[in-house]
Amino acid sequence: EPGDSSETLFERVIAREIPADIVHETATTLAFRDISPQAVTHVLVVPKTRYRTVAELAAADPALLADMVDTAAKVAELEGLGNGYRLVFNTGADAGQTVFHVHAHVLGGEQLGHFGR
Ligand code: 5GP
C-alpha cells in the first residue's frame, strides 16, 4: 500500500513472527525463499530497514541497495547459480508489486525466458 506506513509481511518475516526458509542473513539484509517460486531457484532479498520501492531506497541509502545486490550475489553462490541469475525489482502496481517493502527477486537454476508477460 504505497503511501502507507503500516507494517508489511516482510517486517514480520524479519522479526521471525512469520516462518520463512532463510537462505542467508547479513547485518543489514535477509534472504529467504519465495513462497510461490517462479523459477527453480527463487529467493527474495530484503533490507532490514523498510523502504517502499527500490527508487526510494536508492535515493535514501545507496549503500544499503549495494548491500542487497551483494547479498543476492552471495545467494547465487550458495544456490549454485554459476551460469547466471536474474535480479528483479517490481516497482509499483503495474509491475505487480504487492509488498511495499523493497525486495529483489533472485531467479535462476534454469534458462530463463526474456521478459515475457
Ligand atoms: P512482488 O509481487 O511484490 O514483487 O513480490 C512479492 C513476493 O512475495 C511474491 O513473489 C510472493 O510469492 C511472495 N510472498 C508473498 N507472501 C509470502 C510469504 O508469506 N512468505 C514468502 N516467503 N513469500 C511470500
CATH code, domain carrying 48: 3.30.428.10
Residue 117 falls inside a structural domain:
no
Return the CA Rg of the chain: 14
Give the model confidence (pLDDT) of 86-96 as tens digits.
999 999 999 99
Q: How many residues does the chain have?
A: 117
Residue 87 falls inside a structural domain:
yes
pTM of the model: 0.95
pLDDT (0 to 100) of residue 114: 87
Which of 1, 7, 9, 97 maximizes ligand 1 atoms within 8 Å of its Cβ, making it the mutation to test the pocket? 9
Which of 12, 42, 52, 98 maximizes ligand 1 atoms within 8 Å of its Cβ, making it the mutation to test the pocket? 98
Annotated catalytic residue within 42, 103, 105, 114: 103
pLDDT (0 to 100) of residue 65: 98
Distances 45 to 17, 68, 70, 103 between C-alpha atoms, Å: 17, 6, 10, 5
pLDDT (0 to 100) of residue 3: 45
pLDDT (0 to 100) of residue 2: 44
Residue 1 falls inside a structural domain:
no
Residue 115 falls inside a structural domain:
no
Q: Is the pLDDT score of 1 beyond 80? A: no
Give the model confidence (pLDDT) of 23-72 as tens digits.
999 999 999 999 999 999 999 999 999 999 999 999 999 999 999 999 99
CA 98 – CA 1 distance, rounded (Å): 8
Q: How far is the CA of 33 from the centre of ligand 1 (A)?
A: 9
Question: Which ipTM did the prediction report?
Answer: 0.99
Residue 58 falls inside a structural domain:
yes
Residue span of the structural domain in which 62 resides: 9-108
b/e per residue 14-26 (b: at least 16 CB within 10 A): beeeeebeebbee
Q: What percent of the chain has pLDDT over 90?
A: 90
Q: How far is the CA of 106 from the centre of ligand 1 (A)?
A: 12
For residue 20 the three cell numbers come to 520463512
Residue 100 falls inside a structural domain:
yes
User: In the chain, how many domains are there?
Assistant: 1
Residue 4 falls inside a structural domain:
no
Residue 3 falls inside a structural domain:
no
Active site residue 101: no
Q: What percent of the chain has pLDDT over 70?
A: 93
